[in-house]
């Protein structure tokens, strides 16, 4: 007997999960995507069997084409298929606002729509990251009130978070352990059956709140470690040494794995999951330890500062050269937050541009960005081009903000001939300081002092 699955949200989580499930015998998947000016094209694109992501996603092109051709996967903007669904996966964005408060508009709207159509016995799985306590206090309430059904008796609700990264979407679903947080044994068993068809690693069972905490703490842990690396990079700059050499020496120990610093932390997860964790802490606990919670907000603040440090490195060069930041062309190399992908969510490049424009809003500066993967529909802060020569010709400052593969193979001698002023600000440890300075560039790198060390 076929299993009918609905996946709500056709983004970096929903598409790979939906298509992997659709590739399972007797699984039929419908994706639901809201039509908007920005995303309507995606519905038609997917229904033609085309992968909408521009970056490198091994295996996804072939998978999307296969499941559509086989009649196992389709996408719509209607919720009518929910009434026949045995499983419903919710994969919508859950950002935070400027006050670090979750914006659950999409999550609430989707939950309300599902509640109007869901049948008895359906299993609803929330894969979107939420503040601890949200599944029980927000999603469950909406589903029960809208449907008249009772969780654990008439339907099942599970929190089972994604662990995805652009560039490795399929690999991370298949080859990472899966945490399943259902409200009862029946819910966990149903989720295990579903994920057991596509996940090769261990399926780990826990309660709903523990699963929510696991996701938020997991990403907060990584964010804190990156913040430490960024702080050490700033410290090392003042010592006039290279943090990347130091990290290599540290990590030569088999039991150490220090993270790398850079021009900023981006993406949909690390920039907001620590705030979701603190929001859940503030809303659903007695906060007896509130005065001790400092590392997470301090780490977030430091990581958010790094794009502004890129601007400070640029300004230091202009000060030392006794030049004004005026009548110049600034080129940003890399718009996506992660190398070799098209994902621009919370990209550090955005804050670099904001910092520049806020400081130099009347200085006749030309801005242009280059990215081999990102399309203009996903970026509108400056002019964007895929033409590298156009981007760098007559440039006065080159800000390398993303370490795309293409940037490691640049002919630096030829590049120097194209620019007007040979200045490189390296936010991703792409270049060797000695080499670029020998060619004639003025060079600054996050985590490396500007003077000759010896």
Q: Could you report the per-residue pLDDT of 188-216, keeping only the tens digit for each?
A: 999 999 999 999 999 999 999 999 999 99
Whether residue 288 is found in the same domain as residue 310: yes
Other Cβ atoms less than 10 A from the Cβ of 65: the count is 15
- Total domain count, the chain: 2
What is the spatial distance between Cα 60 and Cα 42, in angstroms, rounded to a whole number? Answer: 15
Per-residue burial over 152-187, b = 16 or more CB atoms within 10 Å of its CB, e = otherwise: eebbbbbbbbbebbbbbbbeebeebebbbbbbbeeb
Say what percent of the chain tops pLDDT 70. Answer: 99
Q: Please give the mean pLDDT across all residues of the chain.
A: 95
Encode 321-385 in three state secondary structure: CCCCCCCCEEEEECCCCCCCCCCCCCCHHHHHHHHHHHHCCCCCCEEEEECCCCCHHHCCCCEEE
C-alpha 261: how far from chain center = 17
Same domain? For 170 and 284 the reply is no
How far from 197 is each of 17, 65, 194, 314, CA to CA, in Å? 11, 20, 6, 51
Last residue of a domain, one of 172, 206, 240: 206
Residues in Cβ contact with 297 at an 8 Å cutoff, skipping those fewer than 6 apart? 274, 278
Same domain, 361 and 449: yes
SS3 75: strand
* Residues 451 and 397 grouped into a single domain: yes
Is residue 36 over pLDDT 80?
A: no
pLDDT at 252: 96
Final residue of a structural domain among 191, 206, 221: 206
Give the separation between CA 234 and CA 248, rounded to whole angstroms.
Answer: 17
**CB 390, CB 382: distance < 8 Å:** no
Q: Give how far Cα 411 sits from Cα of 6, 7, 155, 406, Å.
A: 49, 45, 60, 11
Nearest Cα to Cα of residue 435 among 447, 423, 443: 443
Q: What is the pLDDT of residue 54?
A: 87
> pLDDT by residue (tens digit) across 341-383?
999 999 999 999 999 999 998 779 999 999 999 998 889 999 9
- pLDDT confidence of residue 209: 98
User: With contact defined as beta carbons under 8 Å apart, do 335 and 369 qualify?
Assistant: yes
Q: What's the longest Cα–Cα distance across the chain?
A: 76
In this structure, the answer to whether residues 186 and 233 fall within a common structural domain is no
Cβ atoms 123, 187 nearer than 8 A: yes
Select from 297, 292, 293 the least CA-distant residue to 274: 297
Range of the domain at 200: 3-206
142 and 286 assigned to the same domain:
no
Nearest residue to 412 via CA among 402, 401, 426, 422: 422
Question: What is the enclosing helix (H) or strand (E) of 124?
Answer: strand 123-126
Same domain? For 187 and 216 the reply is no
Name the pLDDT band for 453 (thresholds 50, 70, 90): low
Average pLDDT over residues 267-281: 95
Residue among 445, 450, 397 nearest 423 (CA): 397
* 37, pLDDT greater than 70: no
Q: What is the pLDDT of residues 139-190, one digit of tens each?
A: 999 999 999 999 999 999 999 999 998 999 999 999 999 999 998 999 999 9
pLDDT tens digit sequence for 110-144: 999 999 999 999 999 999 999 999 999 999 999 99
Return d(Cα 34, Cα 39) in angstroms, integer. Answer: 7
Is the CB of residue 86 less than 8 Å from the CB of residue 3?
Answer: yes
| DSSP calls for 2-50 | -EEEEEE--STTHHHHHHHHHTSTTEEEEEE----TTTHHHHHHHHTT-
pLDDT at 454: 52
The enclosing domain of 306 has a CATH number of 3.40.50.720
Over residues 49-103, the pLDDT tens digits come to 999 998 899 999 999 999 999 999 999 999 999 999 999 999 999 999 999 999 9
Looking at the fold, whether 200 and 219 belong to one and the same domain comes out as: no
Distance CA 249, CA 254 (A): 11
Domain boundary among 162, 183, 206: 206
Q: How many CB atoms lie within 10 A of CB 394?
A: 13
Examine the domain organization and report whether 219 and 367 are in the same domain.
Answer: yes
């Amino acid at each position: 007997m076929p299993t009918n699955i609905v996946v709500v949200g056709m983004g970096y989580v929903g598409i790979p999960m939906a298509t992997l499930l659709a590739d399972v015998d007797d699984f039929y998947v419908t994706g639901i995507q809201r039509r908007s000016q920005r995303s309507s094209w995606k519905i038609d694109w997917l229904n033609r069997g085309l992968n909408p992501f521009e970056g490198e996603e091994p295996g996804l092109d072939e998978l999307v084409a296969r499941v559509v051709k086989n009649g196992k996967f389709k996408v719509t903007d209607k919720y009518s298929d929910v009434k026949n669904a045995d499983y419903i996966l919710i994969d919508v964005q859950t950002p935070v606002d400027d006050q670090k408060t979750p914006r659950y508009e999409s999550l609430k709207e989707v939950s309300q729509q599902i509640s109007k159509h869901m049948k008895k016995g359906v299993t609803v799985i929330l894969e979107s990251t939420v503040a601890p306590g949200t599944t029980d206090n927000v999603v469950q309430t909406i589903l029960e009130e809208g449907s008249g059904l009772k969780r654990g008796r008439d339907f099942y609700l599970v929190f089972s978070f994604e662990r995805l990264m652009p560039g490795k979407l399929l690999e991370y679903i298949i080859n990472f352990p899966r945490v399943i947080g259902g409200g009862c044994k029946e819910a966990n068993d149903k989720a295990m059956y579903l994920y057991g068809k596509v996940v090769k690693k261990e399926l780990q069972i826990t309660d709903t709140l523990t699963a929510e905490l696991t996701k938020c703490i997991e990403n907060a842990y990584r964010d804190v470690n990156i913040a430490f690396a960024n702080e050490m990079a700033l410290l090392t700059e003042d010592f006039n040494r290279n943090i990347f050499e130091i990290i290599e020496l540290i990590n030569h120990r088999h039991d150490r794995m220090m993270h790398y610093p850079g021009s900023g932390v981006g993406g949909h997860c690390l920039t907001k999951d620590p705030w979701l964790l603190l929001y859940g802490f503030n809303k659903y606990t007695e906060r007896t330890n509130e005065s001790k919670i400092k590392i997470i907000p301090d780490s977030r603040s430091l990581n958010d500062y790094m794009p502004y440090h890129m601007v400070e490195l640029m300004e230091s060069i202009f000060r030392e050269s006794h030049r004004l930041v005026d009548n110049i062309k600034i080129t940003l190399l890399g718009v996506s937050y992660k190398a070799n992908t098209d994902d621009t969510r919370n990209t550090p490049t955005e804050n670099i541009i904001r910092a520049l424009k806020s400081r130099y809003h009347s200085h006749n500066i030309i801005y242009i960005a280059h990215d081999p993967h990102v399309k203009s529909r996903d970026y509108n802060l400056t002019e964007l081009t895929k033409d590298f020569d156009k981007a760098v010709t007559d440039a006065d400052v080159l800000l390398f903000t993303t370490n795309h593969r293409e940037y490691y193979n640049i002919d630096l001698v030829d590049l120097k001939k194209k620019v007007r002023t040979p200045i490189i600000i390296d936010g991703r440890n792409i270049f060797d300081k000695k080499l670029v300075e020998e060619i004639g560039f003025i060079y600054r790198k996050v985590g490396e002092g500007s003077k000759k060390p010896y």
